[in-house]
Structure 1
Amino acid sequence: MLTLGSPFGNHMVLQQGRPVPVWGTAAPGTRVTVVFQGETASAVTHEDGNWSVTLPPLGVSSGDTMTVTGDAASTPITVSDVAVGEVWIAAGQSNMEFFMRHERHRTEVAPHCGNPDLRFIDMPEICYDGQLDEFDYSRMGLWRVANETNLDYWGAIAYYFATELHTDLNVPIGIIGCSWGGTSSQAWISERSCELAGGPWIEDWERGIEQAGGMDAYWAKQHGNPFNDRGNIVEDTFNDFILPATPTTDEIDAFLTADPIGGLPGLQPQQRPGSLFDHMVRPIAPYAIRGVLWYQGESDDLPGRNTLYADMLIALINDWRALWNDDTLPFLVMQLPGFGHWWFIEHNDFPVIRARQQQAVDASADTWLCSISDAGQEDDIHPKDKRIPGHRFALMARRHVYGEDVLADAPEAMTARAMRTLITPATEGAAPVPHGHERIAIPFDHAPGGLHCADGTDTITALDVRLDGHSVRYRATLDESDLIIDVFDSPGTFRPSNHDDSATGARRSTPITVDFAQTGWYRVNLVNRAGVPALPFTITI
């Protein structure tokens, strides 16, 4: 039987300007011919039943038809309403999966969302062999044109990213959704890479299998288990309950008591190292794409696992690039925003994940870090406003992938310097002021035209200054693209120093540490003129 692979189908978008692989299955020895935009490519099916061809670079178009034919015994395939433009993968866990059905601005957007140039496909959530046949996946894996009927099925970040990119480029935009809520990085990389970069994740899986009575016993319980039915995640009752608003813990517990199917089992098959890499990512490759949007890391915030995240993310980038045979495949990585507590999560170490995200991006070429440190939600791990992350992704793509002269990167602190030690005399009748203080200047990159506070105040949020491990009083001001911090001692005292700053002649006895956005929850208001918030940092001088 002649078939096309995934994600080929009606309404699909093909990548412009680069070779386009097309593949599928047929009877061994069958010559398969693909015709599109007047180009023809043929290949003979291998003994294993797989065939593939490559079309030459294509020009922008819409409303085209692709035909795939085999021998006389094969039923020809016609793929209709095909567009050629820009194609991106939007991947990660629940914040990337988050559907427009639940997004804050859906009601406002829906009446005006119709655009035949915008198409989205959500890849079926599959993590083991046979899962696709055990449940009804007929509503997944379909290319959906943006309109009011289809809007609920769009990933929200993908929708806002595609909309902005289309406005800018004026070509069809296709987004391939490849996400699964609650998944950690070990599922999204190859098993071999997990062995090298994330050994503890392998140990966790093996320990869970042992506790389940062994591999055979475990999989006997998984096949056909309703918990593994991911065929209609858009209209999932638990998602409809928990995602549009922020229910309390008591309300969530009551829901799960009334509807146990919404609960979470113990060791889940999507936790198997390499499971989603094998069953969701590998089937897409090497579909021609422009780049990858990555928003994930929340589920890696576990003791002894979060410190591995830089190596895991680097492994993921390398594994995916190997699948596409493209060492320069662009990755845009969303840094986790502020978050405090939610449901069963009473504490988090997101600063560890954020720092590892920064490390991974710094260590990987053609990879950029996006900031939404102004767009988190203290009491919900799922911020409801996805317009902001969609916009930030689009800005970074325009700047770094499409080469536009736009300000997109987040302000990033450079090396601080102690400017001088000052004596501020008290003025008669004035409010008491510290007599001794030290001035620190922290210059920022990606801040042409200066920095400012987005909320219109003079108070810079998410900032802490410590002396000898203890928070001290300070005054923070802005001077163009420099953050100026006057660090005060106790009133009426001046700190004698035996530590010489060779650059400035300032003398101090104890290092000063400046922390910015180093807590789980925060909302950053320090932004550049593009409104992009500054990245977290810790600087000690």
Structure 2
Amino acid sequence: MSRLYTVSITALLGLLASAPAQADVVLPRILGHNMVLQRNKPLPIWGTATPGEAVTVQFGRQQQRTTTDAAGHWQVTLQPLTASAKPAELVITGRNTIRLHDILVGEVWLASGQSNMEYTMRKNSKVTIPATEDASPLTELDRAHNPAIRIFLVNRKELVKPEPQHKGWSIAQDSALRSFSAPAYFFAKELYDHLKVPIGVISSAIPGSRIEPWIAEEAFAQDPYYASQKVDGDPGKFYEPMIRPLAPLALRGFLWYQGESNCFLSETTSYTHKLNTLIGNWRTAWHDPTLPFYYVQLAPFKYSESKDTKVPLNRETLPRFREAQEAVLQTPHTGLIVTTDLVTKLDDIHPPYKWKIGRRLAWLALADTYKQKSVAAAGPVFDQLQMKGATVVISYKPLKSRLISNDGQPLTDFEVAGSDGVFRPAQARIKGKRVLVSAPEVPQPLAVRFGWDEVAKPNLFSKAGLPARPFRTSTSATGTTTATTEAGK
């Protein structure tokens, strides 16, 4: 072998070693077979491949081309599509070709939180409710087989890893549905019943989780509010593997059912700020400051009787936390559902009726996002009050139906206080669109509160069947009485 030949072989081997390895086109796990694409929005499709590789994405009559960057990342954006329940194929071509089959176009939502959002359809089938209640949702697993409802369950250990088989999403039925979030499924079912378009819902929830792990660390670092305090709770722990990899998937909005773990810490204004931080963080990740965010106000529970808590708790811990949740409604494109009626046992942190949670969240979306004026999304919400001698006249924000006592009994859980600031039980009755409240022990009432106890299950409802939101008022020096929240104190 000549010296020249030996040198040439050595040079060639060195060149091959320094050349980038050829890599197949790889998609994130959220892009897979059976998925639903969000209608009427630009549609990002993204992944990785060899740096500098040409990638083509085709769906229907659309075809987009791009070249991967130096790190091997690529992304194209398909033009908005109209809803379609006809299965189609999404084809991604580079060095290899990926064909995602049975793709629909409709509405896509992301559901997240802790155990009450994670609460599975399997558990839903085993709950006990009063014999007077409609039990048909308990057997939903036996009937569910609508191919237009698709589900994706996030696995915190797998979402960040590539999925060569692209198994993707599932039709909401059988074993896949058994392990899926009951609130998220019933939300999707209610949306479908009204919209009649394909619905895709993603569940990304962890039992027992506080809010901090669902927020990116940089979101805390960029907010001066947190500069003077140590933020514990493992910021970013779940955001990084379970939320960030989902962006920038086009979706309609977010659902959130969380708070029990932070309520056990007796949080108030700090939780308001954290939830606002989360909302801003997620909207930034999706490059859309208007994405709807609908969430669940916590249900009655005996927090004050819990043992081994890190901080002292009392019967006002939950009402104050709910007040902190309500304060987030000042952020645009948010909505809240009330759950004071959705418990059977006051020592159960996981109340049943997850189908009602899902439906009420869906009614918020239908009324606020989809502008369906016929849908009642909220029960009575305090507006203002007037003092008329010994009687307090409470007005509520406009309702689509009248005020009622849902059990036909006198109204419960109203209290009034005079100049001594001591709240006493009050009698209350409905008069048209108002509620009249008084107490013999308080001849000159100055403030009112309603449902202000961790175990309160008030019977003031709208005729549409939705409970009134708990509240309390305060009186200013000028005598003007308004609602107050922890966030405003």
Q: TM-score, normalised by structure 2?
A: 0.82
Superposition deviation, residue 81 in structure 1: 0.9
Match of 1:117 among 148, 157, 174: 148
Q: Which residue of 2 aligns with 1:90?
A: 111
Q: Which residue of 1 aligns with 2:339?
A: 372
Q: Which residue of 2 aligns with 1:461?
A: 412
Superposition deviation, residue 99 in structure 1: 0.7
Query: What does residue range 334-413 of structure 1 map to in structure 2 within 5 Å?
Result: 334-341=296-303, 344=307, 347=313, 349-362=317-330, 364-376=331-343, 377-405=345-373, 406-413=375-382
Provide the secondary structure at the position in 1 that maps to 2:341: coil
Q: Is the 8 A contact 2:416 2:438 kept in 1?
A: no
Label 1:131 to 1:169 Cα distance change in 2 as closer, same or farther (>3 A).
closer
Aligned length: 431
Q: Which residue of 2 aligns with 1:44?
A: 67
Label 1:535 to 1:355 Cα distance change in 2 as closer, same or farther (>3 A).
same
Q: Is the 8 A contact 1:440 1:485 kept in 2?
A: yes
Superposition deviation, residue 200 in structure 1: 9.4
Superposition deviation, residue 150 in structure 1: 2.6
Provide the secondary structure at the position in 1 that maps to 2:340: coil
Superposition deviation, residue 383 in structure 1: 0.9
Superposition deviation, residue 344 in structure 1: 4.7
Q: Distance in 2 between matches of 1:123 and 1:417?
A: 50
Higher mean C-alpha deviation, range 374-383 or range 4-13: 374-383
Are positions 1:300 and 2:271 aligned together?
no
Superposition deviation, residue 345 in structure 1: 6.9
Superposition deviation, residue 291 in structure 1: 0.8
Q: Is the 8 A contact 1:35 1:68 kept in 2?
A: yes
Higher mean C-alpha deviation, range 36-45 or range 303-312: 303-312
Q: Is the 8 A contact 1:182 1:299 kept in 2?
A: yes
Q: TM-score, normalised by structure 1?
A: 0.75
Match of 1:447 among 380, 392, 399: 399
Are positions 1:472 and 2:410 aligned together?
no
Q: Is the 8 A contact 1:119 1:174 kept in 2?
A: yes
Provide the secondary structure at the position in 1 that maps to 2:289: coil
Superposition deviation, residue 203 in structure 1: 3.0
1:290-315 Cα shifts (integer Å, max 9, x gaps): 11111111111244744301111111
Superposition deviation, residue 409 in structure 1: 2.1
Q: Which residue of 2 aligns with 1:267?
A: none
Q: Distance in 2 between matches of 1:282 and 1:414?
A: 39
Q: Distance in 2 between matches of 1:485 and 1:324?
A: 47
Superposition deviation, residue 473 in structure 1: 5.0
Match of 1:80 among 101, 109, 118: 101
Query: What does residue range 192-341 of structure 1 map to in structure 2 within 5 Å?
Result: 192-195=218-221, 196=223, 199=226, 203=230, 205=232, 271-303=233-265, 305-341=267-303
Q: Which residue of 1 aligns with 2:210?
A: 184
Q: Is the 8 A contact 1:10 1:143 kept in 2?
A: yes
Superposition deviation, residue 410 in structure 1: 2.9
Which ranges of structure 1 fall in alignment gaps of 5 or more residues?
206-270, 422-437, 496-507
Provide the secondary structure at the position in 2 that maps to 1:101: helix
Q: Distance in 2 between matches of 1:138 and 1:417?
A: 65
Which ranges of structure 2 fall in alignment gaps of 5 or more residues?
1-23, 128-134, 476-489
Match of 2:194 among 165, 168, 189: 168
Label 1:139 to 1:488 Cα distance change in 2 as closer, same or farther (>3 A).
farther
Q: Distance in 2 between matches of 1:311 and 1:40?
A: 43
Q: Which residue of 2 aligns with 1:234?
A: none
1:257-311 Cα shifts (integer Å, max 9, x gaps): xxxxxxxxxxxxxx42122222211111110001111111111124474430111
Match of 1:63 among 87, 91, 107: 87
Q: Distance in 1 between matches of 2:366 and 2:154?
A: 25
Label 1:473 to 1:41 Cα distance change in 2 as closer, same or farther (>3 A).
closer
Superposition deviation, residue 524 in structure 1: 2.7
1:475-504 Cα shifts (integer Å, max 9, x gaps): 2100122111122138xxxx6xxxxxxxxx
Percent identity between matched residues is 33
Q: CA RMSD of the aligned region, Å?
A: 2.7
